[in-house]
Amino acid sequence: MTFEPIIKARIWGGDALCQRFNKPDIGEAAGESWELSGVEGDISVVANGPLQGKDLNQLITEYGEKLLGSTVIREFGNDFPILIKFIDAQRDLSIQVHPDDALAKERHDGKGKTEMWYIMQAEPGARLLLGFDKTYTQAQYEAHLKSKTLLDILHHEAVEKGNTYFIKAGTVHAIGAGIVLAEIQQTSDITYRVYDYDRVDSEGKTRELHTELALEAIDYEPATDTRVMYEKRKNQSTPLVHSPYFNTHILPVDGALTLDLGDRESFTILMCVEGEVKVDYETDSIKLTAGTTCLIPSCLAAISLKGRGELLEITL
């Protein structure tokens, strides 16, 4: 199944999602395309096939384990556990942090947000902000925040296409201008914004900051393990991130291959990050082009892939 993209207008967004990846034009800067979401108020709706028009919650209620898999049902019940996005950062995103599960449960009765990024496009000089450059105390952090020198104590990471990062809850971070990426994260929309460069929106208003909420959520140690190192192998799945929240592989397709799903107790998501790949399953098929996503139910034992492209393969 593919799903109708949920396009989010953002002050830092651009036109790449529409122009390069065929997402709907919303008439203003688009920062995010939510490809597969179980977030309340933003439930994904099927875009193709006999189930077209049904939303993700309806599918889970009707098909349960056949859709999600026994592992997912056992750990998460009927809640879809991850949120899948494409992000276009034409301008710098705000500097922010996400709470972990315990803090999110205590404050919001929700889940924390650990995430990963796969860089699809990066302009020369594009960078990420990923944690602190050394260990700081909370008081030192607050002093830099007050004096608007927070950028001076953060780690700046130059990026290029194909780079992959795993960002644990508690890591202060930001996506810099000139980056398009795929994001896999826990099902959560809880963000504490700590600095936004004093920007104003079209009405001249600054965006809300969450200075006090962020203090307890922040890990003040440097984030030394965010970069994921890997080597691609043609027509082979290479591990990127294995975590309690999601497992992700990169799969470069060149020609034809069969993907055996029979030993999995989870759904599989394919995100096409480059090229074009045809997915054949049972008596039908779909075509994935760069910027498209599909959900493969747990009950499907195998699929065939044909074409030339690169897929992110996501399971639990």
Instruction: Write down the domain spans for the chain.
Output: 6-228, 238-315
pLDDT at 200: 81
Kindly report the backbone phi and psi dihedral angles of residue 86, in degrees, each rounded to the nearest multiple of 5, phi listed first: -115, 140
Residue in 126, 121, 179 with CA at minimum distance from that of residue 156 = 126
pLDDT at 115: 98
Does residue 283 surpass a pLDDT of 90? no
For residues 89-109, average pLDDT: 97
| Residue 241 β-bridge partners | 248
Residue in 80, 76, 77 with CA at minimum distance from that of residue 44 = 80
Query: Looking at the domain that runs over 238-315, which CATH code has it been given?
Result: 2.60.120.10
Q: Are β-strands 115-122 and 173-175 bridged in parallel, bridged antiparallel, or unpaired?
A: unpaired
pLDDT at 212: 97
6-228 with 238-315: one CATH topology? yes
In tens, the pLDDT along 212-268 reads 999 999 999 999 899 999 999 999 999 999 999 999 999 999 999 999 998 899 999
pLDDT at 42: 97
Query: Looking at the domain that runs over 6-228, which CATH code has it been given?
Result: 2.60.120.10
Q: Using 50, 70 and 90 to split pLDDT, how confident is the model at 199? A: confident
Q: Using 50, 70 and 90 to split pLDDT, how confident is the model at 195? A: very high
Is the pTM higher than 0.85?
yes
Position with higher pLDDT, 61 vs 204: 61
Give yes or no for a contact between 89 and 180, defined as CB atoms under 8 angstroms apart: yes
pLDDT at 214: 97
**Which amino acid, residue 52?**
Q
